[in-house]
Structure 1
């Protein structure tokens, strides 16, 4: 059985759902797998950039062979330590932060999503699933061995119980790009 690892913390801009994973590979390897399209493709999706406009689209290929691109705004990029992205999804704008640091225990990846109006009962299991797919790839295994049915609905109640008092924070303004 897969265990839930995410926690809700008070972030700089409100409540965030946070996950940590420790890897025994260099920080630059973890960075490549969260920031470079050819490595992302192995566990979640791919980036495409329109060089003429600078527009970035993200395609979640782990969910579909022909996904629609979701527009992304890269807010901060400091290789190999920090990536902050806002991505527009059909459910609203998601504010995502990836931090990578080297410690005595290994390379620590901290992933956070600012809470919006979507329920934690689906977001929590979703990120557990994807981060475990990343862990499999970084461990030299296939992400395809990770099964969604092990995460949802098994973790739904756990994550629903983590919602901040009064429910999740409201969605950001319509364009989703304000802080």
Structure 2
């Protein structure tokens, strides 16, 4: 299995930093184990990060170090259709500069995803966090296209699992301009804190 995975990583259809150059933006996650699993060693632009429906509060909390850093740089932290629980969680991130938060409430998924596309294309945001009821393959393709050449980080929090089967652990799916996607499974401890990270290729 390990040999098979290594062969797939070498396949030209799998996105690799060394093959495509340095991303426009790459921010350390604040979690060394997660940095080691991510291409380029951190969250990066031109990638759509799909956060699993299971464990979204823990996954959002894992973004605190990056959101803190980005909120003190230029650019907006755009929150599209965030639920109250997400707003409360971000409000508790003590070092995030709230003056850099821009909250937009769309009427439905169509409006929300359209706003996410526009924010990516305009390229004046530091980070875009989008909450949707559903996230289809077509939605992902449109977001990936809009993300090309942008410096913004982009995270999507769908309520339902769309592009992969539900798993027992919270997980993050990385969508790049390639046929393959990368999934990182994130077990949680008894206190709901994120634990280890397991890297998978699909």
User: What TM-score do you get using the length of structure 2 for normalisation?
Assistant: 0.26
TM-score by length of 1: 0.29
Greater helix fraction, Structure 1 or Structure 2:
2
